[in-house]
Structure 1
Amino acid sequence: MSFNDKVVIVTGSSSGIGAAIAIEFSALGAHVCLVGRNKEKLDEVGRKCNNPLVLVADVTQDKDAQRIVNETVRYFGKLDILINNAGMGGAASITAENAMAVYDKLMSTNLRSVVYLTHLAAPHIIKTKGNIINISSVCALRILLKDSFAYNTSKAGLDHFTRSVAAELASDGVRVNAVNPGPVLTDIVQNSGFSDAQQKAVFENMKKGTALNRISEPSEIADLVTFLASDKARAITGSIYVSDNGTLIKAA
């Protein structure tokens, strides 16, 4: 696969899945815009890419979202591919006092920001006949954790948004798909405030919950994303691709 001269925005690319996606696109010849809130981590990823555009931005802020798209197009002259990867986890019972605060925060980050960035990017992607890939979760398809209604709902909404926009943009030659990872070895658990010992326990439980008894590396998700963004997947749109080591088929 080659992405020579293609321009790609990857949100949440300061670590984990987003970083792996950005690095792989760059290795395949793409011009990459790295987006995240942590400049130090973004710069570290940027050193592994070929002349990237690095933007410190918060995708939940409309002005930042506008800046992401406008600066990318100004710097590279066009936009071919949007990878909506930025997201966050969080837990709260529906009866908890903070239920709506958690819900609003997760919906803003995991769904609204994707909708708005897609709204801003779509006219540019239509011009290049490019594509959009949203990073969702197996939690959109199955309830895996207690007190996760907000996260599950945000990802289920993201899947249906993917289908809806794919149906709308197909006539413009634009493809839209989603990738739904299961457990992946990233810093999302650490970022949720767990200690080292707790993180180890969480990942061990995740591993036991897979049919293949393994946890993916971020590069595995990047491999799937670059395939879906390539001409090899030119017939694929409106699809939800699960990469979960058999989490959804694990027998009780």
Structure 2
Amino acid sequence: MSFKSKVVLVTGGSSGIGAAAAIKFAEEGAKVSMVGRNEKKLQNVSDKCKKAGSIPLVINADVTKDEDVKRIISDTIKHYGRLDILVNNAGTCIPSSILAPNAVQTFDSLMALNLRSAIYLTNLAAPYIVESKGNIINISSVAALRPFEDEVGFAYCTSKAGLDHFTRCVALELAPKGVRVNSINPGPVRTDIAKRYFTDESKEQEMWESAKKMTPLNRISEPEEIGDLILYLASEKARSITGAVYAIDNGYLMK
């Protein structure tokens, strides 16, 4: 799957799925624009892209800030002159209960990062992607397809369900213009996100072991596996796929 001469914008590119996608696109010859808030981690991913043969454009930005979103698109276009693929990957999970005093604040925070940022980036990027007949990939979650209780909660599930339906709506609108839009819904993936909740490494490992047992395949995905699916959906091999929601969860939703 060669992406030579293609320009790819990946948000949340400093670690996890976003980092894996950026590196894989670089390995396939793409010109990568990668966005994140952690400069040290961004530089580490940038170095790996360089080793793969592509020097990425590194943008330190917060996708929940409108001025930063505008800068992300303008810097990418200024640097590369075009945009072919947008990967809306930036997101997080904050456990939420509808009974919590801060329920609405948690909801607003998650909607801003997990949904609104993807909408605004798509809004600004779409004219360029229409011009290049490119495509958009939104990174959602199995939480969009099945409700979870307090350990994940209503706010995260709702934000990801909204992202899935946004995917379908925009896919339908942009299809006549030759643009495809799809969603990827991972189950448990081994990323740095768990470190935000566990300072004790043994507790983190217990969490992964528990998640593994909840999958029929008895395994946790690695970010690179999600990256493989991102590249497939972004490629011409997936030219007939749009408006789709792809679960990649080791069978998690069946159990």
- What is the CA-CA distance between 1:92 and the residue it aligns to? 1.9
Residue matched to 1:106: 110
Following superposition of structure 1 onto structure 2, how do residues 5-44 of structure 1 map, counting pairs within 5 Å?
5-44=5-44
Determine whether 1:199 maps to 2:204. yes
SS of the counterpart of 2:99? coil
- What is the CA-CA distance between 1:144 and the residue it aligns to? 3.4
Question: What amino acid is aligned across from residue 25 of structure 2 in structure 1?
Answer: F
Following superposition of structure 1 onto structure 2, how do residues 116-135 of structure 1 map, counting pairs within 5 Å?
116-135=120-139
Residue matched to 2:63: 59
Residue matched to 2:140: 136
Residue matched to 1:164: 169
Distance 2:186 2:154 in 1: 18
Distance 2:204 2:163 in 1: 26
Q: 1:194 to 1:142 in 2, by over 3 A?
A: farther
- What is the CA-CA distance between 1:239 and the residue it aligns to? 0.1
Question: What amino acid is aligned across from residue 68 of structure 1 in structure 2?
Answer: I
Q: Is the 8 A contact 1:185 1:216 kept in 2?
A: yes
Residue matched to 1:241: 246
Residue matched to 1:73: 77
String of CA shifts for 1:26-74, please: whole Å, max 9, x gaps.
0000000110000000000000112100000000000000000110011
Distance 1:70 1:58 in 2: 15
Determine whether 1:154 maps to 2:159. yes
Q: Is the 8 A contact 1:33 1:55 kept in 2?
A: yes
- What is the CA-CA distance between 1:194 and the residue it aligns to? 4.8
**In the comparison of the two structures, how many residue pairs are matched?**
250
Residue matched to 1:211: 216
- What is the CA-CA distance between 1:146 and the residue it aligns to? 2.5
Question: What amino acid is aligned across from residue 27 of structure 2 in structure 1?
Answer: A
Determine whether 1:82 maps to 2:86. yes
Question: What amino acid is aligned across from residue 71 of structure 2 in structure 1?
Answer: R
Residue matched to 2:234: 229
Q: 1:194 to 1:109 in 2, by over 3 A?
A: farther
SS of the counterpart of 1:248? helix
What root-mean-square deviation, in Å, do the aligned CA atoms of Structure 1 and Structure 2 show?
0.9
SS of the counterpart of 2:48? coil
Match among 179, 192, 195 for residue 190 of structure 1: 195
Q: Is the 8 A contact 2:198 2:204 kept in 1?
A: no
- What is the CA-CA distance between 1:145 and the residue it aligns to? 3.7
Identity %: 59
Question: What amino acid is aligned across from residue 125 of structure 1 in structure 2?
Answer: I
String of CA shifts for 1:191-225, please: whole Å, max 9, x gaps.
24553222112111110110100001110000000
String of CA shifts for 1:114-160, please: whole Å, max 9, x gaps.
00000000000000000000000000001234351000000000000
TM-score, normalisation: structure 1:
0.97
Q: 1:194 to 1:139 in 2, by over 3 A?
A: farther
Determine whether 1:94 maps to 2:98. yes
**Which ranges in structure 2 are unaligned for 5 or more consecutive residues?**
none
Distance 1:4 1:47 in 2: 19
**Which ranges in structure 1 are unaligned for 5 or more consecutive residues?**
none
Q: Is the 8 A contact 1:89 1:192 kept in 2?
A: no
Q: 1:210 to 1:194 in 2, by over 3 A?
A: farther
SS of the counterpart of 1:48? helix
Distance 2:198 2:87 in 1: 26
